[in-house]
Amino acid sequence: MRLAIALLLLLIVPAMAQDATAPDVVVREGLDPASGAVVGQHVTLHVDVLFASTMPRPPRVSVPDVPGLQVIRFETQGTTMRESIGGKPYVGQRFDFALYARRGGAFDIPPATVTLLDSAGGETGHAAGQPLRLDIGVPPGIDASKPVVATRRLTLDQQWQPMPIGPFKPGDAVVRTITRSAEDVPGLAMLDLDLAAPEGVRAYADPPDIRDSVGRGVVTGRRVDRVTYVFEHGGDFRLPAVAQPWWDLGTHALKTAGVAETSVHVDPAAVATTGTSRSWNVRGLAGAALAVAGLIVLAFLGRTLLRHLRARRAEPERVAFAALRHACRAGEVSELYRRFAVWAALLPPAQRRAADEEATPLRAALFGGHAAPWSKIDASELLARLDALRRQRRAGRPISVLPPLNPALPGSSWADG
């Protein structure tokens, strides 16, 4: 009898000890790559949440903000996991977060916050992971004060409508579309291109179209910039080159994707002549009077249409600034920068440059990794500066969002503008 009890205890005690060492919930965190990452590179933060025996419901997992780190959650669902810990079966999920460092140096990442839920979705408790240290290098030749793209593949494509080979005359317009795509990089990380026009050409930029797609856990960033150039008079013009520097993670080399400047010749407006010295007759005078009257009517109708189009073109700026004001009040730096970029793209070149200067602290907070995080006070001060810039613009000389009235300007040129 005693021997049987002793054998039973030998079986029960190890099992109790095994259960005591295996917690009900296990939270693990890890980085990929764990070392050697550079500024702008996608680093994956894995958060594994495992439950003993059964998982009542997938938990909610969040990662605290870290100054200088952009944290993005692309996947809406985690990856199911099953494994054994201390001889005990566990089931759970892995949650992935994309980290993009906007400066070099060391980052201390606080533990992830895990909210445990019952089968009905009610909160039953909280758990936390482990703090991590992320070391980020800055490759040679990289200016980390600006958005940096680090990827294995980046493309830049340019299209014109119509092709800039002419013949062109004053009042004609061309639309330039530049599309950039990068693997494992959000579109927001791509540089704002300098699409300013030379003297004698007006440039009207659309808000950038930024779209990110996710396939099999890999994000592809895509940004489309579109600008319309209108030639005010004849001459030879050089439309600017564009360049997107990037760090090739495959070859560990600094590369630049871009297109060279484009030369466009615009012929002076033709002047109608008779080619002879014969005198005007009555029919010629009547025709000339009719032509002048027609031009007067066209000018009146054109100016009315111009005022209407100006009002319509001004509306997107007001809507975009209202969205920017809302983002400033919310204070979230990534969304604020996105709204700023959309609004600034609607401004004429001179005002856009002034707005970019006012937003320097915003870019520094998002991409420069300041020790102090961006605050709502900073957002309020930025909003006040940008609002003052808008008032100065309205108080000064009005800046047309359309070229001067010119009957030769094809109306269809503005369909894409």
Query: Where does the pLDDT of residue 294 fall: very low under 50, low under 70, confident under 90, or very high at 90 and above?
Result: low
Q: What is the pLDDT of residues 94-146, one digit of tens each?
A: 999 989 998 999 999 999 999 999 989 899 999 999 999 999 999 988 888 88
pLDDT of 38 > 90? The answer is yes
pLDDT value of residue 284: 45
pLDDT value of residue 192: 87
CATH number of 142-269: 2.60.40
- What percent of the chain is predicted at pLDDT more than 90? 38
Q: What is the pLDDT of residues 44-97, one digit of tens each?
A: 999 999 999 889 999 999 998 898 888 887 655 678 899 998 889 999 999 999
Between 333 and 390, the more confident residue is 390
pLDDT of 379 > 80? The answer is yes
Of 83-92, 222-231, 364-373, 389-398, the one with minimum mean pLDDT is: 364-373
Closest by alpha carbon to 327, among 367, 377, 383, 381?
383
Which amino acid, residue 334? Answer: S
Asked if the 23-136 domain carries CATH number 1.10.287.1080, the reply is no
pLDDT value of residue 352: 83
Between 359 and 26, the more confident residue is 26
Query: Where does the pLDDT of residue 401 fall: very low under 50, low under 70, confident under 90, or very high at 90 and above?
Result: very low
pTM of the shown model: 0.60
Mean pLDDT score of the chain = 78
Of 37-41, 99-103, 190-194, the one with minimum mean pLDDT is: 190-194
As annotated, the residues of the chain forming the CATH 2.60.40.740 domain(s) are 23-136
Q: What is the pLDDT of residues 301-329, one digit of tens each?
A: 555 555 554 544 457 788 788 888 888 88
Residue 368 has a CB neighbour count (10 Å cut-off) of 16
In this structure, what token pair is assigned to residue 22?
A: 């295996």
Between 377 and 21, the more confident residue is 377
pLDDT of 241 > 80? The answer is yes
